[in-house]
Amino acid sequence: SFCTLLMASLLLLLFAAVGAMLVLAWTSFRLRKSKSRGTRAKVDAIVLSGPSGVGKGTLIKRLMETRPDTFAFCVSHTSRPPRDGEVDGVNYHFSSKSNMQTMLEKGEFLECCEVHGNMYGTSRSALREVQASGKVPIIEIDVQGAQKLKKQQGDMSFYYMFINAPSVEELEKRIRGRGQESDDKVQTRLNTARAEIAFMEANRSFFDKVLTNVDLEESLAVMNRLFKLYCGL
């Protein structure tokens, strides 16, 4: 009868509407879930900056010891001679000023600076080498180099962290504790440190995080939490 057909049609329309609503709800859920997975920004490198003697190298060493499958050191070039115990290709790629100048002119460096009379630079090939291994490069760099790096990074995403000492007095104690520097060189490093700290304090937004390295293991724990939260690592 007409009434039966009408009821059947209405039921079909109702089922179709409910089905469409369920499909829309499921699609919306999947989109929200997909977006939530993508909220953590992936980074192309971690950049640790700060004055000489604040413990950048020690923190990097501990990061790679505790998370060897995640991080690898991006080995920079330098024209300074090796210190006791340093290995070419591990601590730095030790080179000459003339060779580094040639590399700079060819555009092979992401950044290159002269510090305390020596050249330091992060090469594009060193960064690519770590990235090709599937690990996240850690770049150790001074503030001058970090400024140049940020200008040259293009569409790459870097996480910039400034490592600081509790005080300049503590920093001097750490530098003198190395037993490798003359008084003149210690004062030069301290003057550079004051300038770098002044830059950080005047340009807080330049760095993603400022970390005062009081205790090594506590600093390491903070770094791991930050890398997980902001870098998806």
pLDDT in tens, 143-181: 999 999 999 999 999 999 999 999 999 999 888 887 777
Give yes or no: 62 in active site: no
Pairwise CA distance, residues 48 & 102, whole Å = 26
Give yes or no: 83 in active site: yes
pLDDT in tens, 82-99: 988 999 999 999 999 999
In this prediction, residue 6 carries a pLDDT of: 61
| Residue 39 pLDDT exceeds 60 | no
- Fold exhibited by the domain 45-75+134-231: Rossmann fold (3.40.50)
Name the catalytic one among 83, 124, 194, 225: 83
Q: Please tell me what DSSP assigns to residue 43.
A: -
Strand order in 45-49's β-sheet? 71-73, 136-141, 45-49, 158-164, 209-212
Give yes or no: 30 in active site: no
Pairwise CA distance, residues 47 & 141, whole Å = 7
Name the catalytic one among 40, 178, 194, 225: 178
Domain segments of the chain as ranges: 1-39, 45-75+134-231
